[in-house]
Amino acid sequence: MTYLNEPHAFTLPIRVYYEDTDAGGVVYHANYLKFMERTRTEWLRTLGFEQDTLAQELGIVFVVGSLDIQYRKPARFNDALTITANISDIGRASMVFKQSIWRDSVNNSPELLTTASVKVVCVAMGTFRAKTIPIQIRELLQ
């Protein structure tokens, strides 16, 4: 399924569990960020990069430097969601992801729930100072 304006996005299906929701059965606001983090991590994994290996072998980690999120509609208990990720900009030591959360529907018309712009920075493990994104990662992401 192609998500509106995101034909080349990496996608990750997620089911909303009871633990993701508040007492009213609505996904707790911080859990949308967890869904987006999982999607970015799985994208790196499909490209052949495990975050623990990057930390151990290259001494780098990717951290969120900033984010702008818009909650449009709530996700609820037991919803089938698809989280998307696209890179909209890549710099020397950072990249900006455009991410969306969609509710899957029976009639094949996904419903947009949340959008975000997430700036991720590559940093050195010991100092947490910005470090150039390794060329082997940059080439696969561009």
Which of 22, 52, 79, 104 is catalytic? The answer is: 22
Tell me the CA end-to-end span of the chain in Å, nearest whole number.
23
52 catalytic? Reply is: no
To 5 degrees, how large is the angle CA 53–CA 67–CA 6? Answer: 80
- The values of phi and psi at residue 130, to 5°, are -55, 140
Buried residues in 46-60 as b, exposed as e (16+ CB within 10 A): eeebeeeebeeebeb
The residues assigned a catalytic role are: 22
